[in-house]
Amino acid sequence: MIVIGALVAVSAALVYRRDGIDGVTEILTHDLSLFGGILPRVLAGCLLGAFIAEILPHEKVSRSLGPNSGLKGLLIGTAFGAILPGGPFTAYPVASALLAVGADFGATIAMVVSWTLIGYGRAVAWEIPIMGTDFTLWRIVISLPLPVLAGALGRFVYVRIYPKGEAE
């Protein structure tokens, strides 16, 4: 937090020196409106995470997404990440909730990676308009196997770093 705060202050000072006060206020207004726009989604994400943590049956999650869930767990994580609505403010609280109720690192990695790479939210809202449909679709096709591979690699490394299944 402090490092980022300092970084932001230095950057703002540099913008001020280069563009004057107009440059600083222009970025500020733009980012403030962006901030106002995402606040409701942040609230929705936090609520979604809290509800999911509360209503998901722990034994069931650890069975279907836990360390012994195998390829199926990774595929469920991938599918879940791909259909999860909203931005980082939704995906990360939900991922955190899954970890808390018994999903292992592998399945949660599959979910987070799937959400960033093949989730439709960012692709529809930003990537298609900016990068074009052709690039975006090929990029997604190429990315399809990656969440499962990342989750499998995560699981493979995890059991070697924490052989005793170290608690949180």
Partner 1 sequence: MSAALLIDIILWGSVAAVGFIAFQRGRTVLTTSLREGAMDFVNIVPRIALGVIGSGYIAAIIPQEVITGWLGPNSGWLGVLTAVIAGAATPGGPVVGFSIGAVALKAGGGPPQVIAYVVAWALFAFQRVMLWEIPFMPARFVWFRAAVSVPFPFLAAAIAMAIGKP
Interacting span for partner 1 (CB under 8 A) from 4-12, 60-68, 73-81 = 4-12
Q: How far is the CB of 101 from partner 1 (least distance, A)?
A: 13
Among 69, 78, 108, 114, binds partner 1 (CB under 8 A): 108
Subset of residues 113 to 132 that bind partner 1, contact rule: CB under 8 A: 113, 116-117, 121-122, 124-127, 130-132
Instruction: List the structure tokens of 140.
Output: 């997604």
Subset of residues 15 to 74 that bind partner 1, contact rule: CB under 8 A: 15, 18, 23-24, 27-28, 30-32, 34-35, 38-55
Subset of residues 148 to 167 that bind partner 1, contact rule: CB under 8 A: 149-150, 153-154, 157-158
Determine, following the binding rule CB under 8 A, whether residue 99 of this chain makes contact with partner 1: yes
Contact 63, 101 (CB under 8 A): no
Residues 6+ apart with CB under 8 A from 65: 73, 76, 77, 98, 102, 103, 104, 107, 108
| C-alpha span between 166 and 44 (Å, rounded) | 32
Residue 62 backbone dihedrals phi, psi, to 5 degrees: -70, -25
